[in-house]
Structures are given as C-alpha cells and as structure tokens.
C-alpha cells in the first residue's frame, strides 16, 4: 500500500501519526482513503469544492503532482506520497 | 569595489584563503557582496552571525521588533542584557564584535510594498527569515521584479523548509505556493511553538546557500525544496518546478500589491483583537463570579502541555481539537465560560458550542494572559 507522509501541522488530525499507509491506485484515491480514515483532515486539505487547497502541495516521491497527472497520478505500493503545506515561521 | 585584502583580513580569513574553492578571489567576492536579511529572529540570528564571520562586506538588517526574553531560547544573536533593545541594534552589536571589518545597514521598519523595492534593490541577495505570509509574498514579488535571488527558509515546531528562489530562470515562491493559507489555518511560531535549535540548523542551510551563491561554487538549492525533520533527523528533497506559464518571464507578479489584503490579515504583526460583544466576559468579571460562588462552568480549551504551564484553578481542560467529541461532558443549559491563551481559540470554541445548541456561552477576553495581567499576577505568562 502507498505510504502518505503527514506533515507536523496536520498530525493532530491523524491521531498524531507521521505516516499512514492507505489503499488506492491514484493520488486521489489515496487521499480519499486518508480523509475517510481521518475526517478532520478533509477541510485542511480540500476546499469546499473538493479541490486541493493551493497552499498544500502533494508529491509522489519527489515530484509535484501538479506536474504529473494531478489527482489521477498513479501510485504503486512502493511510492511515497508527501503532503507539504506552506509554513511561514522564521522568528 | 575592493580589489585587495588587508593584512588583518588575511589573518582573519586564513582558513578560507587556503581553500581552493574560496581563496583570495572568493574572499574578495564575499567582501564585495551585499546581502539583505529580512528578520533578525530565529533564522536571521545564525544567518547574520555566520555571514558576518565569513566576511560578507555589507549586511542589511530589516526588523522593527525589540528583543523579548522569550526570544532568547533560539535567537542566539541576542543576549539577556539585550532584552528591551531594538533587535537591529542588538544584532549589530554582536555582529560587530564577531567582525568589525564589515558594514551593517539597519532598517528599523516593517517591510512594506512602499519601501521594499527601494531597500532590496541595493543588495545582491536576499535571505528571507520572516515569520508571516504577507511578508513572504512581498519579499518574493520584490525579488522577482528586481531579479534578485531570494534564499528562503521557514520553520515550524521541529520542521524546516529551505530553497533558493528567483535565481536566473528558477522558480519563485509563487511557483511553489500560488496562494497563502487563510488566516488562522497555519499557526505561527508564537502560536505553534518552535524547537530552539531548529532555526540554527535551518538558518545555516540558508547561510550556506548565500555563501555558495556569492562564491559561485557548488550546486545551489534551486528548484529543490529541502525538508528537514529534526525529530526524525531526516532531510528530504522535493522538486520545485517553475510555473509552465512563466517560461522566460514571470506572468504572475506584475507589481507589488496589498499583501495584508492578499493574505486576508487585517494588520501586520498585531495579534487579532477579540471582538467585544455581549458574549464576551472580562477576566475580572470571571473572578467576581468565582468569588461569589456563581454556578457556572469554566472551560480551558488550550492544549495539555499549555495547561501544565499554568492554569486557572476552577477550569476544566478540553482542548479545542477534542471539543466536538467531548460535548457530552458539558451541560447544554449550563452557564459556560471558555478561555484559552489569548482569546482566539476560545472564540472558536464558543462557536462550536453554539452550533451544537448550547445557549449560555461566553468567551473570556484576552485569555489566561489577560487573567495573569488583571487578576492573578502569580500566573506565569508564556
């Protein structure tokens, strides 16, 4: 099953886990399985229209899905999906 | 432009001069370089100290904040004796002590759309170490318009991100993140906390990239987002691609805009004032209710680790995130007062209760910090 890496700000919505294995053969299916398991995650990842929020990037291995097939990007069991939200802290 | 090093400089920089990757030619590049540091806080502190030590000839510092004792857990450029001083003055003092041969220019102002281009255009490289989205977008856009590389880093709790934006044909911040998050969704260091040593590691990645850009050595961290997780002690790298519509020339940034409005924040740096309404109650009035033995429930919606720092004796702890699942612990008809650290989270908690049919819900304004100021000075502030 592909692994999704959960970033620090979102771990509070995933029982504090830093990684979750989910089923799914595309990024969209995998994220769907993630939000089904952790419903609180949904509003932090998707807007009201169900589109990925623009300050949250998703990568399959090291490639941004916006430059692949977006949510239709295929994922294999060996792939790692990273959710990377913008953070602004510096002080 | 300097074409030689003094004998004192040769002594000082000898460990650089004996390396072929730097040498006299590289040290002269450093001496002639002009780098602007936005923020002299967690990230800015190590960047400023190491770039000063390395002999970067002109370092600009932009910060209008003063040193607070809570900064000292990580902002190593400032010391206990500096509490209350302007950060730019305190930083300058440390940097001058490390290296008196460099020029330091202080900008004790908030960076705004009105002054950003004038300030930034005097420099070759910008190192962005601010702590808010409006300034992040402002710095990016100014660097795009001026064609100046922006060495970027940001931190949160125990994670850091770093990259180099706007270098040659490389991507910019807006290629990575086209829009800021709505206010309140991504906590700042002041709200979320930050591990004190984190900005040291991440700031030095930033300083390293600045030095490499000046020297023209190595592979810059361009088109790559470096992610650092201190707890796992793991570095990862992701690709950042330039917006395909911007090949050759940026099509997104045309001019500087109102970044506060763009990011949906009313005022830069100001903590959101809790709106006063009939559903608010002051800490003094809460104290009067407690002293009078009034029948009401006081709920603290902060996190467990905050509750361990300080608490109001009567309060019952239900962290905001757990509130929806723990409504059964509260009586819908009871008189309920909610509080948090500063009043923001408890206002959200009041909304949650009202949406679930609770009728007598009030928010304690200013949170436990106001309680410490106005009711019980023995309560520590954090």
User: Could you list the pLDDT tens digit for every one of the 382 residues in chain B?
Assistant: 999 999 999 999 999 999 999 999 999 999 999 999 999 999 999 999 999 999 999 999 999 999 999 999 999 999 999 999 999 999 999 999 999 999 999 999 999 999 999 999 999 999 999 989 999 999 999 999 999 999 999 999 999 999 999 999 899 999 999 988 877 666 666 677 899 999 999 999 999 999 999 999 999 999 999 999 999 999 999 999 999 888 878 899 999 999 988 988 765 444 444 445 678 999 999 999 999 999 999 999 999 999 999 999 999 999 998 899 899 999 998 999 999 999 989 999 999 999 999 989 999 999 999 999 999 999 999 9
Residue that wins the pLDDT comparison between A17 and A43: A17
Q: Which of the listed residues B236, B262, B288 is the one where a domain comes to its end?
A: B262
Same domain, B173 and B256: yes
Same domain, B181 and B232: yes
Output the CA angle B94-B98-B102, nearest 5 degrees. Answer: 95
Same domain, B250 and B327: no
B236 touches A at CB < 8 Å? yes
Same domain, B322 and B226: no
- Whole-number average pLDDT of chain A: 92
* Domain span including residue B330: 280-374
What's the number of CA atoms in the CB half-sphere (13 Å) around residue B203? 29
A80 touches B at CB < 8 Å? no
Question: CA B193, CA B140: separation in Å to the nearest integer?
Answer: 25
A49 touches B at CB < 8 Å? no
Question: CA B48, CA B62: separation in Å to the nearest integer?
Answer: 11
Same domain, B100 and B41: yes
Question: CA B11, CA B14: separation in Å to the nearest integer?
Answer: 5
Q: Which of the listed residues B233, B262, B291 is the one where a domain comes to its end?
A: B262
Which candidate from B133, B156, B227 shows the least CB-CB separation from A9?
A: B156
Overall pTM surpassing 0.80 (yes/no): yes
What is the least distance, in Å, from the CA of A86 to any CA of chain B? 7
For residues A59 and B176, the answer to whether their CB atoms sit within 8 Å is no
Output the pLDDT for position B74.
96
Distances from the Cα of B293 to the Cα of B290, B296, B314, angstroms? 5, 9, 11
**What CATH number does the domain containing B140 carry?**
3.40.50.720
- A29-52 pLDDT, tens digit each: 999 999 999 998 998 899 889 889
What is the least distance, in Å, from the CA of A22 to any CA of chain B? 21
Number of domains in chain B: 2
In this complex, do A8 and B236 lie within 8 Å of one another by their Cβ atoms? Answer: no
Nearest CA in chain B to A58: B238
Question: CA B93, CA B67: separation in Å to the nearest integer?
Answer: 13
Please compute Rg for chain B using Cα positions.
24
Same domain, B222 and B352: no
A29 touches B at CB < 8 Å? no
**ipTM associated with this complex:** 0.91
Q: Which CATH superfamily is domain A3-85 in?
A: Beta-grasp domain (3.10.20.30)
Output the pLDDT for position B267.
53
Please compute Rg for chain A using Cα positions.
12
Same domain, B187 and B328: no
Helices (H), chain B: 7-12, 14-17, 23-32, 44-54, 87-98, 116-120, 133-146, 173-176, 189-192, 198-215, 259-262, 283-291, 304-307, 344-355, 367-374
Helices (H), chain A: 8-11, 27-37, 42-45
Output the pLDDT for position B301.
95
Instruction: Please count the other Cβ atoms lying within 10 Å of the Cβ belonging to residue A36.
Output: 11
Output the CA angle B264-A18-B324, nearest 5 degrees. Answer: 60
Same domain, B151 and B225: yes
B130 touches A at CB < 8 Å? yes
Measured between beta carbons, which residues in chain B are less than 8 angstroms from residue A87?
Answer: 154-156, 159, 161, 186
In this complex, do B239 and A57 lie within 8 Å of one another by their Cβ atoms? Answer: no
Output the CA angle B355-B357-B362, nearest 5 degrees. Answer: 75
What is the least distance, in Å, from the CA of B132 to any CA of chain A? 5
Average pLDDT over residues A70-86: 95
Angle subtended by helix axes B87-98 and B44-54, to nearest 10: 30
Output the pLDDT for position B181.
85
In this complex, do B181 and A91 lie within 8 Å of one another by their Cβ atoms? Answer: no
Which candidate from B177, B237, B240 shows the least CB-CB separation from A55?
A: B177
B16 part of a folded domain: no
Same domain, B217 and B83: yes
Q: Where in chain A are the domains?
A: 3-85
Chains A & B: contacts with CB separation below 8 Å: 107
In sequence order, which residues have a C-beta less than 8 Å from that of residue A68 and are 6 or more positions away?
A60
Query: Would you name the residues of B annotated as active-site residues?
Result: 189, 340
B137 part of a folded domain: yes
């Amino acid at each position: 099953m592909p692994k999704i890496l959960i970033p620090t700000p979102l771990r509070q919505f995933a029982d504090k886990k830093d990684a979750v294995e989910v089923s799914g053969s595309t990024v969209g299916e995998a994220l769907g399985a993630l939000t089904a398991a952790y419903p609180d995650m949904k509003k932090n990842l998707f807007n009201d229209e169900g589109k990925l929020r623009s300050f949250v990037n998703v990568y399959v291995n090291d490639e941004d899905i916006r430059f692949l097939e977006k949510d239709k990007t295929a994922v294999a069991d060996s792939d790692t999906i990273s959710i990377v939200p913008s953070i602004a802290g510096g002080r | 432009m300097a074409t030689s090093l003094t004998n004192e400089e040769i002594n000082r920089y000898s460990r650089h001069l004996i390396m072929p990757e730097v040498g006299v030619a590289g040290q002269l590049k450093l001496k002639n370089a002009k780098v602007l540091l936005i923020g002299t806080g967690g990230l800015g502190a190590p960047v400023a100290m190491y770039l000063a030590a390395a002999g970067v000839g002109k370092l600009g510092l932009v910060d209008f904040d003063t040193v607070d004792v809570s900064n000292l857990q990580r902002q190593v450029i400032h010391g206990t004796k500096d509490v209350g001083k302007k950060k730019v003055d305190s930083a300058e003092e440390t940097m001058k002590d490390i290296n008196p041969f460099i020029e330091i220019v202080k900008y004790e102002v908030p960076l705004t759309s009105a002054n950003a281009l004038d300030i930034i255009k005097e420099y070759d490289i910008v190192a962005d170490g601010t702590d808010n989205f409006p300034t992040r977008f402002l710095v990016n856009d100014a660097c795009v318009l001026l064609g100046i590389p922006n060495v970027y880093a940001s931190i949160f709790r125990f994670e850091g991100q770093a990259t180099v934006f706007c270098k040659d044909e490389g991507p910019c911040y807006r290629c990575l993140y086209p829009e800021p998050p709505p206010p309140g969704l991504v906590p700042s260091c002041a709200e979320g906390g930050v591990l004190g040593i984190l900005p040291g590691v991440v700031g030095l990645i930033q300083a390293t990239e600045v030095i490499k850009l000046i020297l023209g050595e190595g592979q810059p961290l361009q088109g790559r987002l470096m992610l650092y997780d201190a707890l796992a002690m793991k570095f990862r790298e992701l690709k950042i691609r330039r917006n395909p519509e911007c090949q050759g020339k940026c099509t997104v940034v045309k001019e500087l805009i109102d970044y506060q409005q763009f990011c949906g924040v009313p005022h830069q740096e100001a903590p959101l004032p809790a709106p006063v309404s009939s559903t608010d109650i002051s800490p003094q009035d809460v104290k009067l209710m407690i002293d009078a033995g009034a029948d009401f429930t006081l709920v603290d919606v902060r996190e467990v680790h905050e509750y361990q720092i300080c608490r109001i004796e009567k309060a019952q702890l239900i962290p905001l995130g757990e509130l929806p699942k723990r409504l059964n612990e509260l009586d819908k008809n009871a008189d309920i007062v909610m509080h948090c650290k500063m009043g923001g989270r408890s206002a959200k908690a009041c909304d949650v209760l009202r949406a679930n049919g609770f009728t007598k819900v009030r928010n304690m304004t200013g949170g436990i910090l106001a309680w410490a100021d106005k009711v019980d000075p023995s309560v520590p502030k954090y």
